[in-house]
Structure 1
């Protein structure tokens, strides 16, 4: 339903301009646009060419209509204005329409006015909401949202989050309970209430979907054993700022490591393909001795691939045995030739899965080569020691000695470790902080000094140590973030996704669905940024939308302490609480404002399989991230700005 709604909006946009046309895309839009519409669909609605946005004149296109589909940013507006001016100098007669995602802004229109092209443009907006990446994963693809929120103080992305949630509830029914933690979560809560009040009687009805047809997002998925689908029961809003530690850690699930080693973009990875000897020989015969037959093959990674669906959330240590077992099972399925028709049909289905198995064997081998490197193993070892809180000096010295001069990717690995050191220890000791600054200055230039001094500091990711140990040790104990004796192959706790570290974000969700309020004391919650809230979305006697404190604990289903019963703290929290189990399996939408990692998604899926939780989780986010892509979104813009300033 979500995909169909987005396709409908896109088709309406294209059909609003009659005749043949050219579609000019912001590169940040073109990637995920393929998840919504195929090229054939675009051609059916008059698109003759697809171009990427630049400042170069358009040239002879053979058509008059030009449609721009771009993110609403000052940079994009300047590029569009420059391209239109250059094109109009060379040729006349073009008609331009500019559609901004997710909404048009006054700042962009002012740029058009200042550049003298406003009269040549028809401006509009493409109110795209969540993009479905999988049956349980939605993303707004707002790659700069985290930077804007924590470093720039720009909260404009939160409007897009609130509007997307309002539309989602209009499709699937209003959530009875709204919970959240963090300053951005509180702002989205306020926007949601305002939007519901503006809709009045047309606001989403709690617990009732406007459309009776539910698509695969919230429907039964046999492999997960989810019993039933339906409207959203509860929404949990979480700031990335509340848990900045988790993205800085190396993900150790299969999907997480694919993302760490080759980066998953728009639901696909591009591993380097190593051809066989026969393929190399054939290619050399055809293309010449100096040709290279290798390349980056695009592999779609979603639940449509049944092999990947079964492997993606496993610890990588369990992937090899699983793949081997599947391959051997197919090869030795039958020794005899006597088979019934039903058995032959089952065997044929297994044979169809063989190419997928071979594809993932190759993908796993590529990951294994990357993680077998001594540098990777040293990196994970340093992370573990920082999370444990042991060997601060040794860990800091290991980071300082890292070969950051070799490649830019190495720099981001070092920055992730330094941020992890800062976040877990309450800051970086002065001597190590100064040493890092000096190394980066010599290796990369003053632009990166600006990054360390301003951007990462403003984001709270990398600060000097001012004394004390910070809040992480207390949070680690209160939420039981470190778990010993993790079984990678048969896990019993979400901590398996980081080989012993349970993401704080997932522990918060676990507490929110198990215990009244957040399952921990107010003094612990106050250690995390921003307010915590729990309200019921309902209506007054006149049917107008309002909020009120949650009165009936049955609304939030099963209530138990997150802490293990073996601890005195858990016994005290559990005392006097009644165990209320709703027979209906609840749908809980967890919204990560600022980004979510694949390891956290795996942990939430695992949490959903636990009988004591009785929830099915749907994950929504502003962006699918890892520590490197999160830092790149913060750092790259600041470096580009510094270079532009230096060039003036």
Structure 2
């Protein structure tokens, strides 16, 4: 995640009214990219904006780039957001669609570099590519599987740097970019500079200060690629700083980027904040553009669209306008023009658009699966995990002196490790949805199997080789073919052992157990604020705020919002007391955050989220499970085994697709805290759910399997993605 939720306290010294986005967008795995086509003065849908999505004759409004000085851009927040695509019926052909989407992103980046610095070649020279740290994972993911450093080499990029554009100073940035105040030194350095930056006025000023010495150096060109697009504030700031003339600028709209099997994401940091904090819905334009990109590759419109939420309805209306405009363009083409053909075999039969705030509970509850805790505690950004790895003792000793003189023991050292975690990591794909309490034992079994496999290979290599030279060659060839697999498996096991250890350390530091137990109590108490369970929750929260040191602010806010949503709001006196104590403990600078949470109905006296009604209507509470029961789940609540909560957004999807989940056990609210309650009923209906779900989708299409595109506007949680994988497994 671009801004990890557990580090939200660091943001509060400069917190403004938009700070709430740091709290509730951080649960999302991946950022969204949005380019704006609306005028700043307009909030509604404009037909000319829809036309711009298709009019390829007007280069100023091409899908990839919008001119920097266009008045249609506006300032963005610096937050995480995400949008994910997940199929109900996974097919091999989906890989073609993922490859096509990734090719679009690679082509967009190549065009942006060419637009600003010219074509790659001897005339352009080498380029230093600096990427803001919050966006670096995007480019690591693009290079992953595309040739890595060779891909950058073809583009003429000599170095890829991670820079702190939102917090660092200009002098530090100049040192990283090899920019000197001496014109002669800059002349001798000779490499062009390209910076990928978020569209923020503060970033624009910092870049202007850092790049200004290059104004008098014609041999060193510099460019800024705004990801996803420059805003009017950014454009004005660049002009105010006097660098708009020599710093070349372009918008970098990468589109959908595949990050996992059947999962793609748009790369942008501010959609949640724009929609739910600022009330600016212009970002929905790019949501529609991303859907149109999928339709373009599949060669067929998605006419069956289901919406859940206000912004989802807006997306549907805009998509209908876009389809009508497509039809007009098609009719206006000359007779000799051939229509574009589909380049993938996959066809999407249905689109389900879900607003993030339709299911706020999934953002607030703690998933207990391995991947869920990894995201919540360590942080996952576009599937990339960064952690500090301790060097093994034997490695440190091996590099030490070999003399007999006794030397002091070396101090433990750590190295920063980056790992891409997705379905290509076989071990991660095996353990990602496993309850964290069971992961350690599973990794031990994997280690034993690996040791046995290595010993077997070693024994085979030491055995007498056949006398026949051809047989000996085949024997050695088989051993060598097996070696890369063993090395890869060992490396993956080492990474996950380190990550499990890191999760254990952080769970102790952040009082994870107490928070999860409080979540259980809140969900079991329900809307009653006068029950003994509710009083226990209030007592825990009061102690957590007033103790020394206090509980992490994010955890306190999360539990308070959960209380407010489940109870239908907090009593005025209770809310006022919490506000007072929070300000005393964490500082008055969090007041804007509390005000914004109230406006969003997350922490208020009353809210529109009718939890008792939704719980019964969608069967949200399924009963607690013990750890072993999560090995063979029968419903989608196994990610929250101790609360028994089934993600509401997935229930809404099941309703849309006619999945008859209500044939399962009834809501066991009276025994939520009893481990294993409801487990027998769940197990007995395991096969009926799979059969009814499959038949409902098949019968609706006369026996043909249905491909469903699910689009989250404002972010998706790991628990929801886990539920999608569970449903896909049931379908197969």
Is the TM value for this pair above 0.5?
yes
2:700 corresponds to 1:601: no
| Partner residue of 1:477 out of 616, 637, 641 | 616
| Partner residue of 1:43 out of 153, 160, 184 | 153
Q: Is the CA contact (8 Å cut-off) linking 1:418 and 1:428 kept in structure 2?
A: no
Alignment of 1:174-323 (within 5 A): 174-200=301-327, 210-213=341-344, 230-279=346-395, 291-323=411-443
Q: Is the CA contact (8 Å cut-off) linking 2:510 and 2:552 kept in structure 1?
A: no
1:601 offset after TM fit, Å? 0.4
RMSD of aligned C-alpha atoms? Answer: 3.7
Hey, what's the Cα distance between the residues in 1 that align with 2:430 and 2:397? 36
Could you list the per-position Cα deviations for residues 558-597 of structure 1 after superposition, in whole angstroms to 9, with x for gaps in the alignment?
xx434226669xxxxx9xx998254333221111111111
Q: Is the CA contact (8 Å cut-off) linking 2:698 and 2:705 kept in structure 1?
A: no
Q: Is the CA contact (8 Å cut-off) linking 2:347 and 2:707 kept in structure 1?
A: yes
2:432 corresponds to 1:326: no
Do the aligned partners of residues 358 and 477 (structure 1) sit closer, same or farther apart at CA in structure 2, a change above 3 Å counting? Answer: same
Do the aligned partners of residues 111 and 256 (structure 1) sit closer, same or farther apart at CA in structure 2, a change above 3 Å counting? Answer: same
Alignment of 1:12-91 (within 5 A): 12-16=111-115, 17-18=117-118, 19-20=124-125, 21-37=127-143, 38-50=148-160, 52=163, 53=165, 55-56=170-171, 58-59=179-180, 60-61=185-186, 62-63=189-190, 65-85=192-212, 87-88=214-215
1:535 paired residue number: none
Do the aligned partners of residues 87 and 441 (structure 1) sit closer, same or farther apart at CA in structure 2, a change above 3 Å counting? Answer: farther
Could you list the per-position Cα deviations for residues 265-295 of structure 1 after superposition, in whole angstroms to 9, with x for gaps in the alignment?
2322234434444446557769976743134
2:513 paired residue number: 377
Alignment of 1:246-645 (within 5 A): 246-279=362-395, 291-332=411-452, 351-352=486-487, 353-371=489-507, 375-389=511-525, 391-402=533-544, 410-452=552-594, 454-463=595-604, 465-466=605-606, 471-484=610-623, 486=625, 487-499=629-641, 500-514=644-658, 560-564=659-663, 580=699, 582=701, 583-611=703-731
1:431 offset after TM fit, Å? 4.3
Hey, what's the Cα distance between the residues in 2 that align with 1:350 and 1:45? 32
Q: Is the CA contact (8 Å cut-off) linking 2:622 and 2:666 kept in structure 1?
A: no
1:238 offset after TM fit, Å? 0.7
Do the aligned partners of residues 113 and 162 (structure 1) sit closer, same or farther apart at CA in structure 2, a change above 3 Å counting? Answer: same
Do the aligned partners of residues 329 and 242 (structure 1) sit closer, same or farther apart at CA in structure 2, a change above 3 Å counting? Answer: same
Do the aligned partners of residues 609 and 49 (structure 1) sit closer, same or farther apart at CA in structure 2, a change above 3 Å counting? Answer: closer
1:395 offset after TM fit, Å? 0.8
Provide structure 1 residue ranges, at least 5 long, that are not aligned to the other structure.
215-229, 515-559, 569-573, 615-648
Which stretch of the first structure deviates more once superposed, 419-428 or 490-499?
419-428
2:297 paired residue number: 171
2:104 paired residue number: 5
Hey, what's the Cα distance between the residues in 1 that align with 2:485 and 2:149? 32
Hey, what's the Cα distance between the residues in 2 that align with 1:604 and 1:578? 15
Alignment of 1:105-124 (within 5 A): 105-124=231-250
Could you list the per-position Cα deviations for residues 193-220 of structure 1 after superposition, in whole angstroms to 9, with x for gaps in the alignment?
23333333668xxxx9943346xxxxxx
Q: Is the CA contact (8 Å cut-off) linking 2:553 and 2:586 kept in structure 1?
A: no
1:307 offset after TM fit, Å? 0.9
Which stretch of the first structure deviates more once superposed, 478-487 or 109-118?
109-118
1:23 offset after TM fit, Å? 3.2
SS at match of 1:232: coil
Alignment of 1:149-160 (within 5 A): 149-160=275-286
- Number of paired residues? 538
Do the aligned partners of residues 160 and 80 (structure 1) sit closer, same or farther apart at CA in structure 2, a change above 3 Å counting? Answer: farther
1:645 paired residue number: none
Hey, what's the Cα distance between the residues in 1 that align with 2:398 and 2:479? 36
Do the aligned partners of residues 343 and 403 (structure 1) sit closer, same or farther apart at CA in structure 2, a change above 3 Å counting? Answer: farther
Could you list the per-position Cα deviations for residues 89-131 of structure 1 after superposition, in whole angstroms to 9, with x for gaps in the alignment?
x767754443333334444323333444333344432221112
Q: Is the CA contact (8 Å cut-off) linking 1:102 and 1:160 kept in structure 2?
A: no
SS at match of 2:259: strand
Do the aligned partners of residues 349 and 512 (structure 1) sit closer, same or farther apart at CA in structure 2, a change above 3 Å counting? Answer: farther
Could you list the per-position Cα deviations for residues 147-169 of structure 1 after superposition, in whole angstroms to 9, with x for gaps in the alignment?
22111112232222221221122
Q: Is the CA contact (8 Å cut-off) linking 2:619 and 2:666 kept in structure 1?
A: no
Q: Is the CA contact (8 Å cut-off) linking 1:85 and 1:117 kept in structure 2?
A: yes
Provide structure 2 residue ranges, at least 5 long, that are not aligned to the other structure.
1-99, 119-123, 331-338, 466-473, 527-532, 668-691
Do the aligned partners of residues 406 and 306 (structure 1) sit closer, same or farther apart at CA in structure 2, a change above 3 Å counting? Answer: farther
2:14 paired residue number: none
Hey, what's the Cα distance between the residues in 1 that align with 2:698 and 2:107? 45
Do the aligned partners of residues 275 and 420 (structure 1) sit closer, same or farther apart at CA in structure 2, a change above 3 Å counting? Answer: same
Hey, what's the Cα distance between the residues in 2 that align with 1:362 and 1:72? 36
2:261 corresponds to 1:135: yes
Hey, what's the Cα distance between the residues in 1 that align with 2:102 and 2:238? 32
1:87 offset after TM fit, Å? 4.8
1:419 offset after TM fit, Å? 1.4
2:58 paired residue number: none
Hey, what's the Cα distance between the residues in 2 that align with 1:112 and 1:442? 40
1:462 offset after TM fit, Å? 1.7
Give TM-score, length-normalised by structure 2.
Answer: 0.66
2:88 paired residue number: none
